[in-house]
């Protein structure tokens, strides 16, 4: 140990502070052009992308996707493409699946990715004991076998979205031999994937450092080194990028996005698979279709998205947004305040005889969630609606929704990164689902046969019909599709991804 010298300490500390202070603002820019520094909006709790709450957190998936390859990958337009699997599909009667594993792919420790790894990852994902939150999907296959570079399995229960899930939550392939050798704790300390970047350093709650994997099977990333800082506060993220300490950041308020892009920063503000909606619970006064329709017709979504959201969202009328497979542009819920008022009058409600009910919303969980609901309450007021707006935490929303105890109207955001109707309209509107608020037999009878529908065209047409039925009877109020803001310094280019991924491997020099 070196002796502590008081004079030396003061001199060195002073000099270090002065030096770091002087160069602080230029930190990200001053780093070699091979380093990309990102201020990211979430922390990474665990490195196993297949267990725990972080495995189902859509925002964290970008971090996982930088390190781990998936069964299949997703294009920015939400279509799917090969990743570690080059081919996948069902047999003719859809009783078996067959997967072809990419040859020549390697793990970060240099060992080859094998069909054994794929089979083991699927088995592990389907085992309830591992705590995989998407086990309900992976458990639908059994008798998984690996032979050569092929993997086959029997289908226990057909699910049309099975392969789409392979490109989304928990659809990651982990290294069997390495995981079994180092165990859960060892994997957390030194995660090994087969994605474009290797983990060099990870400081929980602070940052991670990634290094490009030279044997990556896909396109070589532009940046050799990536530093991802976990900056969960939006003001701090804006300051990070504005001061030049980070090269890019995500999810900042639209006003800040406009200010920074006017100042010369690059940026994208593009739609993602996340929508704002109002859940309607099948309790009074929502059992009256005239009331539901009046509420839906009186919302000026254009004004909400253009004035309040300042272009950071676009209006929608179904839970399937543009780009989703079952999106049908012909389904419209009109903005018609006159008709809305007439319907309310017909239902017996007016300013003199106001309709009172509770409305719930989060505040600050999504951009302008509370302000949107306040504006909507203002639009409902001329109908004679005197709603009591309750602000709750998102955790309470989940609990109430699972217990079917949400208020008659409750604001929420719904993500569907795979763009499949089963994960939007299906889970949000099917009565037996713990996530639905409207639970009625008529709708359930329409959705139930679609879960196992083997004819894809018939299934998509079926969901479009369901969406039309929902819109005609106002069983839910879809409001808008969110946009995602990404800001980066001059000289960078990052193409927006429809599923909301902000991937370091997709950032390039302009």
Partner 1 sequence: MNARYFLRRLLLAVPTLFGVALVVFVLIRVVPGDPVAMMIPPGATPEDIARLRAFYGLDKSIPMQFWLWLQAALTGEFGTSITYKQDVMDLIAERLPVTLELGIVAMLVACLLGGAAGIVSAARQGRWLSTLIDNLAAVVQAIPDFLWGLIFILLFGVALPWLPISGRIDTALSEQAGGGFVLLSSLLHGRWQIVGSDLLYMIAPALALALPVAAMIARVLKASMQEALASDYVRLARLKGLSGVRVLLSEALPNALIPAVSLSAVQFAFLLGGTVLVEKLFSYPGLGNLAISAVVGRDLPLIQAVVLTFAVLFIAINLAVDVLVLLLNPRLRGGSH
Q: Which of residues 408-467 bind partner 1 (CB under 8 A)?
A: 423, 427, 432-435
Q: Tell which positions 237-296 bind partner 1, by CB under 8 A.
A: 238-240, 242-245
- Give the distance, in angstroms, between the CA of residue 52 and the centroid of all CA atoms in the same chain: 16
Q: In angstroms, what CA-CA distances link 365 with 393, 395, 396? A: 8, 11, 12
Instruction: Kindly tell me which of 199 and 347 has the beta carbon lying closer to partner 1.
Output: 199
Instruction: Evaluate whether 472 touches 442 at the Cβ level (below 8 Å).
Output: no
Q: Is the dihedral of CA 440, 445, 446, 447 positive or negative?
A: positive
In a 3-state reduction of DSSP, which class is residue 137?
Answer: helix
Fill in the per-residue mask, 35 to 74: x = in contact with partner 1 (CB under 8 A), - = not in contact: --x-x---x-xx-x--xxxx-x------------------
Q: Which of 34, 91, 143, 232 binds partner 1 (CB under 8 A)?
A: 232
By CB under 8 A, name the one of 33, 34, 103, 131 that touches partner 1.
Answer: 131
Does residue 510 bind partner 1 (CB under 8 A)? no
Shortest separation between residue 426's beta carbon and partner 1, angstroms: 8
Give every CB contact of residue 423 below 8 A, 6+ residues apart in sequence: 161, 416
Of the candidate residues 64, 162, 230, 501, the single one contacting partner 1 (CB under 8 A) = 230
Q: Least distance in Å: CB of 203 to partner 1? A: 6
Q: Closer CB to partner 1, residue 37 or residue 281?
A: 37
If the CB atoms of residues 101 and 400 are measured against partner 1, the closer one turns out to be 400
Count of residues binding partner 1 (CB under 8 A)? 78
Chain residues 1-30 in contact with partner 1, contact rule CB under 8 A: 1-5, 8-9, 12-17, 19-21, 24-25, 27
Binding mask 194-223 for partner 1 (x = CB under 8 A): -------x-xxxxx-x--------------
Say which residues have a Cβ less than 8 Å from residue 348's Cβ, sequence separation at least 6. Answer: none
Residue 125 vs 299, nearer CB to partner 1? 125
Options 34, 98, 112, 136; binder of partner 1; rule CB under 8 A = 136
Task: State the DSSP H helix or E strand holding residue 200, giving kind and residue range, or none if neither.
Answer: strand 197-203
Please say which residue, 130 or 152, places its beta carbon nearer to partner 1.
Answer: 130
128 vs 348, beta carbon nearer partner 1 = 128
Longest dimension (CA), the chain: 88
165-168 own/partner pairs: CB under 8 Å, 24+ apart: 165/134, 165/137, 165/138, 165/418, 166/70, 166/71, 166/72, 166/85, 166/88, 167/70, 167/71, 167/72, 167/73, 167/74, 167/80, 167/83, 167/418, 168/61, 168/74, 168/417, 168/418, 168/499
Tokens of 145: 């076998």
The crossing angle, in degrees rounded to 10, of helices 456-473 and 289-297 is 90
Instruction: Please report how close the Cβ of residue 429 comes to partner 1 at its closest, in angstroms.
Output: 12
Rounded CA-CA distance 169/166 in Å is 8
Choices 269-277, 347-355, 387-395, 466-474; region in contact with partner 1 by CB under 8 A: 387-395
Binding mask 329-368 for partner 1 (x = CB under 8 A): ----------------------------------------
Among 59, 82, 149, 188, binds partner 1 (CB under 8 A): 188
Q: Which stretch binds partner 1 (CB under 8 A): 88-96, 216-224, 297-305, 389-397?
A: 389-397
First-to-last C-alpha distance (Å) of the chain: 48
- What backbone phi and psi angles, to 5 degrees, belong to 313? -165, 160
Give the one residue of 156, 402, 445, 495 binding partner 1; rule: CB under 8 A: 402
375 or 446: whose CB is closer to partner 1? 446
Tokens of 326: 């079952």
Nearer Cβ to partner 1 (143/232): 232
Which CB atom, from 287 or from 402, has the smaller least distance to partner 1?
402
**Interatomic CA distance for residues 372 and 397, integer angstroms:** 17
Nearer to partner 1, 339 or 396 (CB): 396
Return the structure tokens found at 72: 């299949």
Separation in Å, CA 492 to CA 248, 270, 274, 488, 510? 9, 17, 26, 6, 5
């Amino acid at each position: 140990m070196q002796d502590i010298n008081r004079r030396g300490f003061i001199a060195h500390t002073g000099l270090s502070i002065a030096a770091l202070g002087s160069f602080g603002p230029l930190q990200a820019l001053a780093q070699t052009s091979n380093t990309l520094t990102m201020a990211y909006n979430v922390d990474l709790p665990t490195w196993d992308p297949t267990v725990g709450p972080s495995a189902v957190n859509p925002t964290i998936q970008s971090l996982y996707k930088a390190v781990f390859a998936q069964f299949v990958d997703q294009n920015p337009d939400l279509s799917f493409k090969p990743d570690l699997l080059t081919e996948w599909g069902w047999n003719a009667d859809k009783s078996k699946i067959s997967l072809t594993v990419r040859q020549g792919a390697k793990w970060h420790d240099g060992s080859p990715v094998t069909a054994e790894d794929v089979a083991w990852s699927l088995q592990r994902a389907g085992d309830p004991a591992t705590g995989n939150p998407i086990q309900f999907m992976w458990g639908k296959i059994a008798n998984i076998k690996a032979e050569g570079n092929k993997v086959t399995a029997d289908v226990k229960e057909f699910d049309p979205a099975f392969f789409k899930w392979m490109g989304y939550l928990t659809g990651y392939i982990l290294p069997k031999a390495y995981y079994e050798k180092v165990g859960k704790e060892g994997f957390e300390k030194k995660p090994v994937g087969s994605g474009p970047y290797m983990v060099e350093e990870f400081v929980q709650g602070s940052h991670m450092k990634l290094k490009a994997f030279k044997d990556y099977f896909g396109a070589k990333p532009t940046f050799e080194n990536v530093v991802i800082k976990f900056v969960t506060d939006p003001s701090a993220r804006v300051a990070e990028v504005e001061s030049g300490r980070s090269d890019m950041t995500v999810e900042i308020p639209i006003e800040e996005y406009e200010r920074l892009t006017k100042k010369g920063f690059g940026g994208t503000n593009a739609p993602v698979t996340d929508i704002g909606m109002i859940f309607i619970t099948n309790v009074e006064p929502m059992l009256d279709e005239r009331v539901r329709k009046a509420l839906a017709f009186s919302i000026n979504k254009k004004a909400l998205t253009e004035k309040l959201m300042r272009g950071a969202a676009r209006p929608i009328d179904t839970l399937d947004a543009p780009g989703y497979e079952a999106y049908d542009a012909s389904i419209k819920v009109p903005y018609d305040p006159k008709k809305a008022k007439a319907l309310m009058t017909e239902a017996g409600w007016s300013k003199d005889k106001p309709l009172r009910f509770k409305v719930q919303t989060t505040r600050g969980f999504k951009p302008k969630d509370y302000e949107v609901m306040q504006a909507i309450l203002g639009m409902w007021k001329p109908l004679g609606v005197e709603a009591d707006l309750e602000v709750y935490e998102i955790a309470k929303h989940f609990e109430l929704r699972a217990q079917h105890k949400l208020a008659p109207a409750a604001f929420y955001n719904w993500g569907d990164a795979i763009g499949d109707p089963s994960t939007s309209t299906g889970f949000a509107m099917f009565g037996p689902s713990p996530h639905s608020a409207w639970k009625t037999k008529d709708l359930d009878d329409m959705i139930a046969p679609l879960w196992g529908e083997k004819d894809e065209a018939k299934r998509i047409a079926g969901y479009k019909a369901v969406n039309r039925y929902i819109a005609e009877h106002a069983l839910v109020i879809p409001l808008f599709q969110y946009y995602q803001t990404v800001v980066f310094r001059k000289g960078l280019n990052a193409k927006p991804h429809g599923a909301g991924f902000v991937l370091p491997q997709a950032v390039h020099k302009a």
